[in-house]
Structure 1
Amino acid sequence: MDRSRRRVSIIDVATAAGVSPTTVSHVLSGKRPVSQDTERRVRATIETLGYVPSHAAQSLRSGSMQTVGVLVPDITNNFFAQLIAGVEDAASEAGFTTIVGNSRFEAERELRHLNMMAQRGVDALVYVAGAPPSLRILREISERIPIALADEEIESLSVTTAVADHRKGGRLLGRHLSGLGHMSVLVISGPPALTSCRERLRGFRETFDGALHVVDADFLEGGGFAAVEDHPPDGDQPYTAICALNDLMAMGALAALRSLAYDVPEDVSVVGFDDIAASAVIDPPLTTVHQPAYEVGKTATKQLLQDIKQGRSQRTTRHVLDVTLRVRHSTARPRLK
């Protein structure tokens, strides 16, 4: 083996400096005093040999992995990709790396990821609930690692949260469709256990004056497609507009309407929620609520790491970020019949 290409070890430094590996460790960590002469000799040797301390070894000594975990329900959804980018940037600015878990809205998978991150000693966890376990389990996990909730709040779990104003977004959509003259809407909701779904629907009801038919789906394109197939516009409960509570379901609804030979927005208007990248370029471009996914992830992470740095116990700071309506070409006044 070519020794010139071998990674320099702490033993190599200790041998060259004429000290023990423990002394080298003390110089690096600063946790134990060593003489000035010894410290200068060790640091000079480190520089000469080009020694780079092992991150794993440093983590074991400090009890910190300098790692933030982030768990999301659907890594393929551009909304969550943007949220993860916000988490990663905030973590990187604080000197932390990021590991990502994807629960796929599956309860068993979500719990497995939560336990794995707690057991492997991540320093903090940004949690986006998709199929959350019981409150008791979440409280136990939050006692083991600091947690911040992003995008989804969990009632009675007292931790830092960063969410968009879901209720305001629902009000914006209801007001928009009412203003166009729609009097009957199919609302495609997401998983009923999620606070965001309840808040979006609550806001929509506050500003929409007509009749609602609400069906639960799964926040995925297939769920939006199936909802329209099962409840066509001219079926038992006719409607002139669809409000899908996320963009993926709205896209599924658009595909189903197209397969059933309905034109959008001439026959049926469609709105979504999230403003993912594809919503602006599909045909027709989707009217939707823009929520700041990147900022939600970054805000949750910055607050959580700031609390850890300042030695504060689990906080209950709540950040609510503003949303806006993006009106595009998927909505119009209902056709007179």
Structure 2
Amino acid sequence: MFFTLQSQNSNYANSIPFVGHKKGEAVDQAAESIGYNSDKMTAHDTAGFIIAFAHMNFQDNPDLEKAFDNVQNGDLNITSYPEYDFGDYNVKAPAQGAVYVVTPEVGYVVSDINHPQRAQITFVDSKKGATQPVYFRALAKKVAHSSCKKDVQNIGKKVKVSVQKKNNRQSSDKNTKSGTEDTSKLSWNDSKEEKLSDFMSDFGDKMDQDCDEYTGDEQLKTRAGEEYPDIFKDGKMKLVDDSDKDADESESIDIGWDPELKKKYDYQVVSIFNYNDDDAEQHITYLFCVHDNQPIVLVDQTTNGNYIAVKETANKDVKSGFADIINGDDTDND
């Protein structure tokens, strides 16, 4: 098996025949017949094929059937993890793969997220374990020759796919639909925003950066033309780090403006500061967020391209300053 499964029910593992492929057979024709370029398929595109295939083959699984129904209404959020617990089954993806959580009870593993056209797909159920792996190219071919062909693009457009780079070993009875944990322990208010504003003013003086603060009145516009917080609605923000050699193929993160910490984004942005340099398109945008009930500061210095690349700030002063403020006294002085 190409991924680690702590325990497996052999009955479910044998419930779907292994779908193989002939040497040299490609997903190109199947994908292109539905309108995709197999070399440029995103996680949303592959999810369209995989959810359609699951609908065809697992109609006795209420969780997968509900997922198929929900996505028609644009109400399906899939989150990927390197490792996840489905009930008693601990599933760990291979080095180039990911575990995709459709609901707390069911999901699937993609063996190579950067090259889905040659990946294997394995479905996982919290009660029954894992199926036999299915080559994506064979899966796509089967869907393309079925009545579900018409559903693939619709699913790909409506499904929301976000990525978590940390393991999630939580029990399956927690709701992972949004990919977030309970954030009730942390809070944000006007008093904390004022403290952060003072901190960033001092930090700006130290770094020779005159930062503008988003106050809710007008969009905060960067030198590169991005407008915060409206830019979050485009869903084109990707989390990268120095080890990402091919950031273009990274997946978008679920991030949004949420100063009251009441929405279900993976990254809940409570405050935004931006510094525009004198040079064309050069800027540093600080996104102060809550992620997995922990404070995190993301930085955007993107100047061009089809997506916004953000990474966790390496500045220890900004990290500790924000952490001290958000974990501090909840008293609002207003």
TM interval, shorter chain, is under 0.3
Higher strand share: 2
Higher helix share: 1
TM-score w.r.t. the length of structure 1 is 0.26
Q: Which has the larger radius of gyration?
A: 1
